């Protein structure tokens, strides 16, 4: 709860920085603020207060708090990545405050106790991103990305809102606990429009997590938006969307799993296959990561399909591992490709000669995304497979296994390029101290999470 106050306050402060003129101090202030927010969440986690806030609008239980910390960590790492580049821009304070508001939205999405708060969370998360996607004002693709993202995002929230309305119509409440009771009470004799509402919610959330067939916006938006914003969207937004997805379905609709399981099964299978296979043909690094992001959504949905004691831990671990590896990849991209427009895989040719540290951390992050032990990505996939097999989805797991083999193919492209191909230009790449620190930390985290996953998984039990 307190973490949310701190984050919102930080956002407002960042806006004021332009007027009151303390722009120089802002980066430091924001980073400390995030640490404080994290600390407050941890304190609350250690000593649960469990006071439902605003008439059960927000419920900061264990799940919400762990995700809040996760969001703060990712945002912290993102600021480390972005700070250097943002400093040269005029719109520094805008960027800072918009990202912080987006973070506040994410926290709401992990802690909602009421469907209205879910909707608000999604909007607070998305609106700053519609703006940021177009923040490269002179670039046509950036503008296109912003517009596409806005239109598609509005559609998605439209679907979601419609679904919420229908469910309210059936159950007479927005409160997720009351809906869950209603579902249990009337199992087997729920009105048809309740199911329609449920499916509309599935559609809306699938848009947000970019699962096939609601993924069409993702590649264009991720490629068109500035690198930094893409990094944020691929990591934080994914994490938040899954936090909300799981919270809603595990609390409200777990007892009528058979109704939506089939739909989600089809979504998962097509997401895994389409995401991975299309990624193989990409020549742009960002676009490849976009499709890989789509395919990762397929893996994570497996845990939502099979709700059991492990699922929450599996989802959090997966999204965290995935986000950290992606942040590493984007840091490397940021240093290898000078501008936002050119991000073809050829830029990575001979990277090992131009800067061994970048090549090494790129390798670790790609191995993690591909799910090779001992990286975090492997254990993430492993927990997902265990969860799914626990509920008997053998065939889906076999599809997922085959899909991850395809994944290896394209994740190895940058690795092979950086160690094997001759560079386009031979100049040594200099990286700033901050970025050096960042990739060392994220690479170490990727390995440490892979070797000692218990510390994360335990948080939920």
Contacting residues toward other proteins, per CB under 8 A: 367, 372-374, 378, 382-383, 385-386, 389-390, 394, 397-398, 401, 404-405, 408-409, 412, 416, 419-420, 452-454, 457-458, 461
C-beta of 91 vs 398, nearer to other proteins = 398
Phi, psi angles (nearest 5°) of residue 114: -150, 140
C-beta of 285 vs 411, nearer to other proteins = 411
C-beta of 131 vs 408, nearer to other proteins = 408
83-105 per-residue burial string, b: 16 or more CB within 10 A, e: under 16: bbebeeeeebbbbbbbbbbbbbb
- What is the C-alpha separation between 375 and 453, in angstroms, rounded? 10
Q: Is the dihedral of CA 244, 245, 251, 252 positive or negative?
A: positive
Minimal distance in Å, beta carbon 358 to other proteins? 16
- What is the C-alpha separation between 309 and 365, in angstroms, rounded? 28
C-beta of 22 vs 420, nearer to other proteins = 420
Phi, psi angles (nearest 5°) of residue 284: -95, 135
Minimal distance in Å, beta carbon 454 to other proteins? 5
Tokens of 255: 């007892």
Minimal distance in Å, beta carbon 421 to other proteins? 8
C-beta of 97 vs 347, nearer to other proteins = 347
Minimal distance in Å, beta carbon 397 to other proteins? 6
Minimal distance in Å, beta carbon 17 to other proteins? 44
Those residues with Cβ within 8 angstroms of residue 43's Cβ, 6 or more apart along the chain or in another chain: none
**3-state SS string over 38-65?**
HHHHHHHHHCCCCCCECCCCECCCHHHH
- What is the C-alpha separation between 377 and 395, in angstroms, rounded? 21
Minimal distance in Å, beta carbon 434 to other proteins? 24
Question: What is the helix (H) or strand (E) element at residue 256, kind and residue range?
Answer: none
- What is the C-alpha separation between 277 and 410, in angstroms, rounded? 9
Contact status, residue 153 vs residue 124, Cβ threshold 8 Å: no
Minimal distance in Å, beta carbon 419 to other proteins? 6
Closest CA to 404 of 242, 209, 273: 273
C-beta of 43 vs 398, nearer to other proteins = 398
**DSSP of 94-163, one letter per residue?**
HHHHHHHHHHHHHHHHHHBSBHHHHHHHHHHHHHHHHHHHT-STT-HHHHHHHHHHHHHHHHHHHHHHHH
C-beta of 331 vs 404, nearer to other proteins = 404
Minimal distance in Å, beta carbon 138 to other proteins? 39
Report CA-CA distances (Å) from 273 to 198, 222, 281, 292, 294. 25, 20, 13, 11, 10
Minimal distance in Å, beta carbon 427 to other proteins? 20
C-beta of 307 vs 397, nearer to other proteins = 397
C-beta of 111 vs 306, nearer to other proteins = 306
DSSP state of 215: -
Beta bridge partner(s), residue 53: 58
Contact status, residue 350 vs residue 418, Cβ threshold 8 Å: yes
C-beta of 218 vs 388, nearer to other proteins = 388
- Cis ω for the linkage preceding 11 (within 30 of 0): no
Minimal distance in Å, beta carbon 62 to other proteins? 15
C-beta of 95 vs 296, nearer to other proteins = 296
Minimal distance in Å, beta carbon 326 to other proteins? 21
Give the count of alpha carbons within 13 A of 92, CB side only.
22
């Amino acid at each position: 709860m307190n973490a949310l106050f701190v984050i919102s306050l930080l956002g407002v402060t960042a806006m004021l920085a332009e007027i009151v003129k303390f722009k120089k101090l802002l980066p430091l202030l924001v980073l400390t603020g995030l640490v404080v927010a994290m600390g407050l969440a941890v304190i609350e986690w250690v000593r649960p207060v469990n006071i439902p806030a605003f008439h059960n609008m927000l419920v900061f239980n264990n799940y919400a708090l762990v995700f809040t910390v996760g969001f703060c960590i990712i945002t912290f790492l993102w600021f480390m990545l972005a700070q250097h580049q943002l400093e040269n821009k005029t719109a520094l304070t805008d960027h800072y405050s918009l990202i912080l508001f987006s973070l506040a939205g994410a926290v709401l999405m992990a802690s909602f106790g009421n469907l209205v708060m879910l909707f608000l969370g999604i909007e607070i998360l998305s609106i700053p991103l519609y703006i940021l996607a177009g923040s490269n004002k002179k670039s046509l693709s950036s503008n296109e990305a912003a517009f596409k993202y806005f239109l598609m995002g509005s559609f998605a929230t439209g679907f979601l809102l419609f679904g919420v309305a229908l469910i309210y119509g059936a159950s007479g409440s927005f409160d997720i606990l009351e809906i869950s009771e209603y579902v249990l009470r009337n199992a087997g004799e729920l009105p048809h429009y309740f199911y329609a509402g449920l499916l509309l919610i599935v559609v809306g959330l699938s848009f947000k997590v970019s699962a096939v067939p609601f993924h069409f916006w993702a590649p264009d938006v991720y490629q068109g938006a500035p690198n930094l914003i893409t990094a944020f969207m691929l990591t934080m937004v994914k994490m938040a969307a899954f936090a909300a997805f799981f919270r809603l379905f595990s609390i409200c609709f777990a007892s009528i799993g058979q109704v939506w399981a089939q739909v989600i099964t089809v979504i998962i299978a097509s997401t895994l296959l389409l995401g991975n296979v299309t990624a193989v043909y990409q020549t742009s690094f960002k676009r490849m990561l976009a499709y890989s992001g789509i395919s990762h959504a397929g893996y994570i949905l497996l845990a939502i399909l099979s709700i059991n004691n492990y699922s929450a831990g599996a989802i959090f671990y997966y999204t965290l591992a995935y986000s950290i590896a992606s942040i590493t990849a984007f840091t490397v991209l940021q240093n290898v490709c000078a501008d936002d427009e050119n991000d073809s895989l050829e830029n990575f040719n001979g990277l090992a000669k131009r800067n061994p540290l970048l090549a090494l951390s790129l390798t670790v992050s790609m191995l993690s995304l591909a799910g090779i032990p001992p990286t975090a990505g492997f254990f993430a996939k492993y927990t997902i497979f265990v969860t799914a097999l626990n509920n008997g989805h053998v065939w889906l797991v076999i599809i997922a296994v085959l899909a991850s083999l395809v994944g290896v193919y394209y994740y190895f492209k940058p690795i092979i390029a950086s160690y094997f191909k001759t560079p386009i230009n031979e100049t040594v790449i200099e990286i700033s101290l901050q970025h050096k620190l960042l990739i060392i930390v994220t690479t170490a985290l990727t390995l440490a999470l892979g070797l000692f996953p218990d510390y994360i998984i335990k948080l939920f039990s």
